[in-house]
Amino acid sequence: MLDTSLLIETEQLSFQFGPTPILRAVSLQVPTGSIYGFLGPNGAGKSTTLRLLLGLLPAPAGSVRLFGHDLGRHREALLRHVGALIESPSLYEHLSGRDNLEATRRLRGLPAARTATVLALVGLTADAHRPVRQYSLGMRQRLSIALALLPDPELLILDEPTNGLDPNGIIELRELLRYLQREHGKTILVSSHLLSEVERVASHVGVIRGGELLFQGSLADLQLHQAGQAHIVIETQDAAACRQLLPAELADAHVTSAGTLQLPFRSPERVAALVQQLVAVGQPLYQIACRQPSLEDTFLHLTAARA
């Protein structure tokens, strides 16, 4: 069934380079209007997936739908609505930022006004006259995004756009993506190997490792997944003795050191009951804490799970 709320939808996308499987049945779902963070360690298959979405690799097994239509059948028409930054585009170093854009704009027969529009969008108007060789890496990235924005695409696909940027450049890029989504209604698929780079800007995330999609959902879903991993840590005198005295209550507890027990957090009521029971059997409680893994921990846990 056609789901128009999804701007990108792949079904069981598989791909191999020669005999080596690179992607295994990846079913990506990128909602219209989202910023989708596509996360995974180096070699996970992110670039390969993005290339397949752009028809840059031979037809894979499985299907790719963009804007609800099959990419294989309507490639040219669909890609007119997509702007992509897959590898750093070759910029003409001796030309100004504006002239770099003009060269591409003319080649593609786009309206003259687009150049000034995209320069303003990426915040390069004031530097438009300077030769690109004087640009910082962050400015080059923004110019590259301006090139991708020239045809006013509804979908932007950016492969690791923060690579090599300094913290300031990363913040600028994040703000640009947010602005493009909020004010211009773009859907943005952005890949990264660092959760921290996308978690503040993404509404949705997909986590890939070894060519398999391990998690996909809204950032809120990931946070929920994270909440499910909270645990409590109890510092006492003799952890093993506690387990023996309360075998049912501490059935899912691990003795992590002579005086430490760790168990999954279920509810505040359970914590309160446990405290009472430990005291009732005469065990001293030195400390009790609830530990919530960070989103980064959750991401690392996910991506390390099948190492």
Ligand X SMILES: Nc1ncnc2c1ncn2[C@@H]1O[C@H](COP(=O)(O)OP(=O)(O)OP(=O)(O)O)[C@@H](O)[C@H]1O
CB of 44 to ligand X, least distance (A): 4
Whether the CB-CB separation of 223 and 248 falls below 8 Å is answered with no
- Part in contact with ligand X (CB under 6 A); list of ranges 29-37, 41-49, 228-236, 288-296: 41-49
13, 28, 30, 46: residue in contact with ligand X (rule CB under 6 A): 46
CB of 303 to ligand X, least distance (A): 11
Q: Which is nearer to ligand X, 43 or 264 (CB)?
A: 43
User: Which tokens hold the place of 234?
Assistant: 């109890």
Does 164 sit near ligand X (CB under 6 A)?
Answer: no
Binding mask 5-24 for ligand X (x = CB under 6 A): ------------x----x--
Q: Which is nearer to ligand X, 30 or 274 (CB)?
A: 30
Whether the CB-CB separation of 86 and 56 falls below 8 Å is answered with yes
CB of 195 to ligand X, least distance (A): 14
Count of residues that bind ligand X according to CB under 6 A = 11
Does 48 sit near ligand X (CB under 6 A)?
Answer: yes
Q: What is the rounded CA–CA span in Å between residue 307 and residue 190?
A: 24
Does 47 sit near ligand X (CB under 6 A)?
Answer: yes
Site for ligand X in 183-222 (CB under 6 A): 193
Give the binding site for ligand X (CB under 6 A): 17, 22, 40, 42-48, 193
